[in-house]
Amino acid sequence: MRELSVYYCPTCGYYAYFQLSKNATCPKDHTELVGLGMRYQDFMNLDYEERDRLLISKIAASAPSLIHRICTSEKLYNQRALVGKLTAEYTKLQKENEELNHTVAWMHELVWEQLRRYKALEQEMEVLKHD
């Protein structure tokens, strides 16, 4: 019998054991799971907290730089601090996004205004030509 390997989902942190990597899919995200590169037995010897830490550090290592920065700047193992930090960052990004949307709407309005003026000028010129 083939040995079981540990696989995890970089999106939601789900983990499971498989013999073949082709069977390793996340039931929630339907994405391919990533091999942890660790023997099943070694993983089993860890307690739940140690497994969590290991998976969090793996996920953080492959995450976009922002998440990476947040996770590594904080003590990764203090999960409350991490959640707090992520929440703060999320709120900040949300606010930035709102401001950007506002700017885009404003620019959009400006462009339309310019276009209306241009069209009006064009019509005026047409009128002048035919006079």
Q: Does 33 sit near Zn ion (CB under 5 A)?
A: no
What's the CA gap between 125 and 131, in Å, rounded? 10
Q: Does 17 sit near Zn ion (CB under 5 A)?
A: no
Q: Which of 4, 14, 82, 85 binds Zn ion (CB under 5 A)?
A: 14
Q: What is the separation, in whole angstroms, between the first and last Cα of the chain? A: 94
What's the CA gap between 64 and 17, in Å, rounded? 26
Quick one: which segment of 5-13, 59-67, 70-78, 83-91 binds Zn ion (CB under 5 A)?
5-13
CA-angle at 120, arms to 117 and 122, nearest 5°:
110
What's the CA gap between 53 and 71, in Å, rounded? 12
Quick one: which segment of 14-22, 37-45, 71-79, 119-127 binds Zn ion (CB under 5 A)?
14-22
Tell which positions 58-117 bind Zn ion, by CB under 5 A. none
Query: What residue ranges bind Zn ion (CB under 5 A)?
Result: 9, 11-12, 14, 26, 28-29
